[in-house]
Structure 1
């Protein structure tokens, strides 16, 4: 199979193909001063083309069913190396480091609102980009670090979204993310000298530990929690707020069990980063018993932010719903109602 090579100039030849994920991409290059701005503009165009022009599943998504996602890539600096003659540090052409922030949401059935699914910041982005080559990626072989990073996160986003619609519905996409990792060259995955975003360093918050935590059998209760929280919880609350909230509580208790088996899990932290404020708002209207249960559980999962959950006991006005840019989907990924 030929490698997938995305070039902006080829966009018109790819027919009506579009990603299952609707990416809003922003590239911040304010800190880069030694590179031709036209190259950086081309990079942003190629990122948009790659992310929004590739299909990652065999499912057909209607326009209003596409997963909404925001990507904000900040380039920090050009990678440097020592000049062999003078020893001075000089920029490596076309090589950059940066930080990547990703947020995704899912509609809630029955209400004009969305719920956050994934909220992460990857501070270990390193890649080479040459204008005119586009973003290179293949499912069969390693072609570029930037292409692998983008594909990895597309599969993670899909897996998390599918997990909210059916029990373990995202499994094959998490395994696809693992395949992306397995194709990386050894110099990127070495424990001591590899790429900080990929290397299997104990408890580092990077791509490897996120993938490894999601696929860890000890984290199965967390995987179940995504379905219970969303499909049996939030989606039910518009018609039965008590039963829906009870299921959200069950999901949080499952998440706590998973985190107890794998303390300081990057996967659990991704859950709390996305859900912290939403959980606080949900339980402002709950009983005192429910509030205490959730405050205790979330403080154990999210100890660094434990004080934030005290706001659950605040009885002030609920926040206004956020209107999504697309109508709530009736799609049921995975076929489980």
Structure 2
């Protein structure tokens, strides 16, 4: 990660590992089982039980039970890396040719795993075949019908909000290099999409939906509206002598430092950390940077963006938009938004608490 072990406090180490393995699903290995202290023999790390508790296991597991789970999870992870069948589905010992495979996962679990994988696809500015998406979850394509495909992909993007990116748009058709998959129109219909002036056709809707999906799930959007591209594109960053990734990294480090000092900061602090002036960054660009800072977190991770305040310690005018782009509850009333912001600040302070001296005048 480019950080020294001492840069990450024990509480943050556990939270990060929990985020890596979130959400839990039947048959999905806990990759944190592959992490062990340096120069130590193969055995559960001292903090592995805390990781399991963060993922939903009981917090009072015996050492023997923790070791048993650790061994099971390592075995599952190694099996999947070698391309062996995933425990995500089970076959009856008496299965004959032509028999249907019975899934051990519920539809909600399948949708959650699809959504998680498609976010990775979006982050990589890529697309994925339906069969490949199924194979990555250890699900044979023979167990799901064309109707199942449409229903599950629509569920990935529910609740449907016009103008928001659709992860289902990143599932491509067999043999197609670009353009909407043949079933994407059915997914749109399932979601309740209605053609309008901006997206009069399925292809136009696919282009907008995929572009917004890239913008919402990665730090460097692949296709965004012209106005946003002008503010966030390569030309903008090259003129400033930096890259968006570098600014995001500097902002994240500055916010972690602020959380450790238990303070809130303004944009001047983040800009200085990135070697820029506050006036170099527009409001839309600032919003995009904070979305990228918090994008790697799980839906239950802390929001470092909550520590950024406007003048006179007032909330950022686009905090609700940040919540929306991160898939969090949004569209809240001002008093509710303030409560969310205060709660997220408290969580960030708790996750990054250190012995550093707190500057009272900077606290919101």
**TM-score of the two chains, using structure 2 as the length reference:** 0.32
Higher RCO (C-alpha 8 Å, min separation 6): 1
| Higher normalized helix content (fraction of residues) | 2
| Higher normalized strand content (fraction of residues) | 1
**TM-score of the two chains, using structure 1 as the length reference:** 0.33
Kindly name which structure, 1 or 2, has the bigger radius of gyration based on alpha carbons.
Answer: 2
